[in-house]
A and B are shown apart, each in its own frame.
Chain A
Amino acid sequence: MTFIHKYPKAAKVAKANFIVAFIALAIGGFFGFVQALHRTNVFRGFFNSGEYYTLLTGHGVLLALIFTTFFIAGLFVWGVTRSLDREPENLAYTWSWFWLMTIGTIMATVAILGGLVPDSSIRAAVLYTFYPPLQAHPLFYIGLALVVVGSWMAGADWFWSYRKWRGENPNERIPILSFMTLFTMLMWYVCTIGLALEVVGLLIPWSLGLVTEIEPLLPRTLFWFFGHAVVYFWLLPAYYVWYAILPKLSGGRLFSDSMTRIVFIIFLLLSTPVGYHHQYADPGISVGFKFYAMASTLLLLLPSLITLFTVVASMEHGARQRGGKGYLKWIGKLPWDRPAFVGCALAGIMFAAGGFSGMINASMNINLLIHNTIWVPGHFHLTVGTAVALTFMAITYWLLPQLTGRKLKHKTLALIQPYAWFLGMTLMSNAMHRAGLAGVPRRTAEPEYMGFEFEPIFGTMTEMKWQIAIGGTILTISLILFLWVVVASWLAGEKSDKPVDDHIPEPLSGVEHTPAILDNMKLWFTLALVLVILAYAFPLWEMVADGIFSPGALPRPS
């Protein structure tokens, strides 16, 4: 018996979400490949430099917003159903949020891809941050709004299951998988307030022509109200995998239940009030608010460092169970021949590296050296592009058999895949960081300038350019391997009652040691709102006081 046999309805929902996620991954990944070759001038024959920004928008939206959201929805359906031991409460409701998100995705994708059709007026080359006054077609904003509303409904679905479960189990602690899901969604509710205000309150009426002028700083600020917490909306499900599943994959048990809960609470509290750290270089926001955001950001290092400890400790425990010895020799005893383990472990290592470049980004005045340079995508390809994406791919190797009742096919290819991703990403990201230090900008089709040359600290621009192109190519190969393994296993994997070992053992320091206050969702949610109000009320009021749409700028089609 595995998941699909016990919960066939939930399995179907989770699979539907994964299908959309993987289609988005395939298209977005292909765009990424084109960009890697175009930017570096290795090959510019796919699309011209005007269309580059349409591809870049597609890459960002499809991967950062669509792939992640749908994969997370599938993952959480699996976790909530399993840990509460109940199918979704009302399938009509469950399918309605799935279809709402899917329709929204199609609308946004059509708006973006319209930019590749000559003379089309349906365009959305505004990148995934869509800063006005650059204007996209209303379809783009409405589509994104539907995706977010759908995700809210999904969260409500899981809270619904939780309440029903609570009614039947009044004295039990929230199971850890559900705890992590619910706290991630609480954070999502807090941060999407900003996005909803921006998109529904400002951008949709403006793109429909109901208002002409817009004040660029206000929507930008509201975007970043959402824009950093969204990073944790991607990351927390990866943490969820590292806490709940990775210890098992390495042959051991989770180190500490209470620390896991504390980490998720800190993320709920601090994810949103840090948004100004994306606006260190913005005029119109005083230094004091930026400093407050910086202090909160650096404090967010704490839960990630705790995670590092807990995850490494859990893996060491697993390795010692498998006969590992010594201070470091146990590392060799980890299952380096299992794709699911390898992917999660390599993703974790890369997240540590991404964390350190993130510290540079967070440090306000040091940030100015690399703000909006290619260093920044170099950084977030380590975090969201590897820590999150590679974890999701790796755990698919373990989840998919549970959802389909079929064994994984092509295990050798699946094993090569995470190693290839790690290699490709190191090459690409390393060169992007170095080029960023020389001032090479991000988000540009042709980073070559007529009037001056960039001066790298060491190495040459040519060498970095090739490193990016080769790294991007290896990543693409790795992505193709992943998709091939998934499609082949899904369609033709050997049917089995027990296609994978899906048992998750209890933590070493279990829930009985966990203080009850950690499960008090009302308390932590209220506290999170208070912190957000402290960070944002005054600066937002300053921006709005002179009129919501003033000082106003006119729209520019993208």
Chain B
Amino acid sequence: MYEEKSDNSTKKLVKILVIVGIGIPVLVELMTLFNLINVQIFEDEKDVNSNDTNVTEVRGFGEGDTLFANQESAVLIDQLRVKVSAQEWRFALGITSMDSTSQEKLQIRVDSLRLQSKKILLGIDSSSWEVRQTVPAQIYGEWALPNGDIPTKLFVSIEQQEADSTTRVSQEIPLHKIPVRYNQE
């Protein structure tokens, strides 16, 4: 008695809604069913290893690797880690100079850091982004990261001061699998 008879425009709308709102879902499910059966019955075991060779692993740097290996003043990454706690994510980096003769006038500097989110954190903007030390050539620094972000590339440069000239060498360091650990402090 309260049924307002639906007019023609409503009927048309219902038709469209049924086709789109129910038709597409039924189609999606039928396609899934078809594919499942197809894979199960008609396709031979997929050679799962075939595509593995295509993924060439980009070898990045990690803990224990040497930077500026072809320079006179090679340095070693002795710590590389993302420290995570409930409140913050921090990137920790420790570098040691390997050659004791050249270390006196060595300056190491983290220029910038490229993150997974493609953001770039610059070294020059804030002093905390700088590791600048001359002697001894063992340095350690920590930087706050945006929560959830991980560095993928590090841009480091060293400055070697000779008698009256300064050689500056920069290196781009792709990072490989930085250990991410809970920070208990």
In the complex, are there CB atoms of A and B closer than 8 Å? yes
Write the residues of chain A forming the contact surface with B, with a CB cutoff of 8 angstroms.
Answer: 44, 48-52, 118-121, 123, 125, 336-337, 346, 353, 412, 415-416, 418-420, 422-423, 426-427, 430, 434, 445, 450-451, 453, 455, 457-459, 498, 500-501, 556-558
- What does the 1/0 interface line of B2-46 toward A look like (CB < 8 Å)? 100010001101100110111011001100100110110000001
Given A458-B36, A501-B1, are A336 and B148 neighbors across the interface (CB < 8 Å)? no
Q: List 22 A-B contacts (CB under 8 A).
A: A48-B117, A48-B147, A49-B149, A50-B89, A50-B148, A118-B87, A119-B87, A123-B86, A336-B17, A337-B11, A415-B17, A419-B18, A422-B21, A422-B25, A423-B21, A423-B24, A426-B24, A450-B177, A455-B46, A455-B48, A458-B39, A500-B2
Q: Measured between alpha carbons, how far is A558 from B32 in the docked complex, in Å?
A: 39
Q: Measured between alpha carbons, how far is A501 from B11 in the docked complex, in Å?
A: 21
Q: Kindly list the 8 A-B residue pairs having the minimum CB-CB distance in the complex, ordered from nearest.
A: A419-B21, A49-B148, A50-B147, A426-B25, A50-B148, A48-B148, A557-B86, A419-B17
B148 touches A416 (CB 8 A): no
B38 touches A458 (CB 8 A): yes
- What does the 1/0 interface line of B51-63 toward A look like (CB < 8 Å)? 1000100000000
| Chain B residue at smallest Cβ distance from A557 | B86
A419 touches B35 (CB 8 A): no
Any A CB within 8 A of the CB of B136: no
Point out the residues of chain B lying under 8 angstroms from A501, CB to CB: 1-2
Point out the residues of chain A lying under 8 angstroms from B46, CB to CB: 455
| Chain A residue at smallest Cβ distance from B15 | A336
Point out the residues of chain B lying under 8 angstroms from A453, CB to CB: 51, 55
Residues B98-154 near A (CB distance < 8 A): 117, 146-149
Given A50-B89, A450-B177, A458-B39, are A430 and B147 neighbors across the interface (CB < 8 Å)? no
A556 touches B32 (CB 8 A): no
A423 touches B146 (CB 8 A): no
| Chain B residue at smallest Cβ distance from A53 | B148
Given A337-B10, A458-B36, are A422 and B22 neighbors across the interface (CB < 8 Å)? yes
Query: What is the distance, in angstroms, from A386's C-beta to the closest C-beta of chain B?
Result: 11
Point out the residues of chain A lying under 8 angstroms from B146, CB to CB: 48
Query: What is the distance, in angstroms, from A367's C-beta to the closest C-beta of chain B?
Result: 18
Query: What is the distance, in angstroms, from B32's C-beta to the closest C-beta of chain A?
Result: 6
B32 touches A430 (CB 8 A): yes
| Chain B residue at smallest Cβ distance from A120 | B87
| Chain B residue at smallest Cβ distance from A558 | B86
Query: What is the distance, in angstroms, from B121's C-beta to the closest C-beta of chain A?
Result: 14
Any A CB within 8 A of the CB of B166: no
Given A119-B87, A423-B24, are A336 and B14 neighbors across the interface (CB < 8 Å)? yes
Point out the residues of chain A lying under 8 angstroms from B2, CB to CB: 498, 500-501
Any A CB within 8 A of the CB of B171: no
A412 touches B148 (CB 8 A): no
Any A CB within 8 A of the CB of B170: no
Q: Measured between alpha carbons, how far is A457 from B32 in the docked complex, in Å?
A: 11
B86 touches A337 (CB 8 A): no
Point out the residues of chain B lying under 8 angstroms from A416, CB to CB: 13, 17
Point out the residues of chain A lying under 8 angstroms from B11, CB to CB: 337
Count the B residues whose beta carbon is within 8 Å of the partner chain — how many?
Answer: 38
A48 touches B149 (CB 8 A): yes
Q: Measured between alpha carbons, how far is A430 from B28 in the docked complex, in Å?
A: 8
| Chain A residue at smallest Cβ distance from B20 | A423
B13 touches A412 (CB 8 A): yes
Point out the residues of chain A lying under 8 angstroms from B87, CB to CB: 118-121
Residues B69-91 near A (CB distance < 8 A): 84-89
Given A125-B86, A426-B25, are A459 and B35 neighbors across the interface (CB < 8 Å)? yes
A458 touches B22 (CB 8 A): no
Q: Measured between alpha carbons, how far is A44 from B146 in the docked complex, in Å?
A: 13
Point out the residues of chain A lying under 8 angstroms from B55, CB to CB: 453
| Chain A residue at smallest Cβ distance from B60 | A450
A434 touches B32 (CB 8 A): yes
Query: What is the distance, in angstroms, from B31's C-beta to the closest C-beta of chain A?
Result: 9
Known: A457-B39, A458-B36. 13 other contacts (CB 8 A): A44-B117, A50-B89, A337-B6, A337-B10, A346-B22, A412-B10, A415-B10, A416-B17, A419-B21, A453-B55, A458-B35, A557-B85, A558-B86
Q: Measured between alpha carbons, how far is A544 from B148 in the docked complex, in Å?
A: 38
A457 touches B86 (CB 8 A): no
| Chain A residue at smallest Cβ distance from B43 | A458
Point out the residues of chain B lying under 8 angstroms from A118, CB to CB: 87
B36 touches A457 (CB 8 A): yes
Point out the residues of chain A lying under 8 angstroms from B1, CB to CB: 501
Given A445-B148, A556-B182, are A426 and B48 neighbors across the interface (CB < 8 Å)? no
Q: Measured between alpha carbons, how far is A458 from B33 in the docked complex, in Å?
A: 11
A423 touches B25 (CB 8 A): yes
The listed residue with most A CB atoms (<10 A of its CB), out of B39, B146, B148, is B148
Point out the residues of chain B lying under 8 angstroms from A455, CB to CB: 46, 48
Q: Measured between alpha carbons, how far is A459 from B117 in the docked complex, in Å?
A: 27
Q: Measured between alpha carbons, how far is A453 from B22 in the docked complex, in Å?
A: 33
A420 touches B21 (CB 8 A): yes
B25 touches A51 (CB 8 A): no
Interface residue from A51, A119, A337, A434 paired with B14 (Cβ < 8 Å): A337
Given A48-B146, A458-B36, are A336 and B29 neighbors across the interface (CB < 8 Å)? no
Point out the residues of chain A lying under 8 angstroms from B22, CB to CB: 346, 419, 422
Point out the residues of chain A lying under 8 angstroms from B6, CB to CB: 337
Q: Measured between alpha carbons, how far is A453 from B51 in the docked complex, in Å?
A: 10
Q: Measured between alpha carbons, how far is A557 from B2 in the docked complex, in Å?
A: 58
Q: Measured between alpha carbons, how far is A412 from B85 in the docked complex, in Å?
A: 50
Q: Measured between alpha carbons, how far is A119 from B6 in the docked complex, in Å?
A: 57
Interface residue from B14, B20, B28, B147 paired with A49 (Cβ < 8 Å): B147
Q: Measured between alpha carbons, how far is A420 from B18 in the docked complex, in Å?
A: 10
Q: Measured between alpha carbons, how far is A337 from B16 in the docked complex, in Å?
A: 11
Query: What is the distance, in angstroms, from A185's C-beta to the closest C-beta of chain B?
Result: 33
Q: Measured between alpha carbons, how far is A422 from B87 in the docked complex, in Å?
A: 39
Query: What is the distance, in angstroms, from B11's C-beta to the closest C-beta of chain A?
Result: 7
| Chain A residue at smallest Cβ distance from B1 | A501
| Chain A residue at smallest Cβ distance from B23 | A423
Q: Measured between alpha carbons, how far is A498 from B84 in the docked complex, in Å?
A: 60
Query: What is the distance, in angstroms, from A493's C-beta to the closest C-beta of chain B?
Result: 15
Query: What is the distance, in angstroms, from A289's C-beta to the closest C-beta of chain B?
Result: 33
Point out the residues of chain B lying under 8 angstroms from A120, CB to CB: 87
Q: Measured between alpha carbons, how far is A52 from B147 in the docked complex, in Å?
A: 10
The listed residue with most B CB atoms (<10 A of its CB), out of A125, A458, A556, A558, is A458
| Chain A residue at smallest Cβ distance from B89 | A50
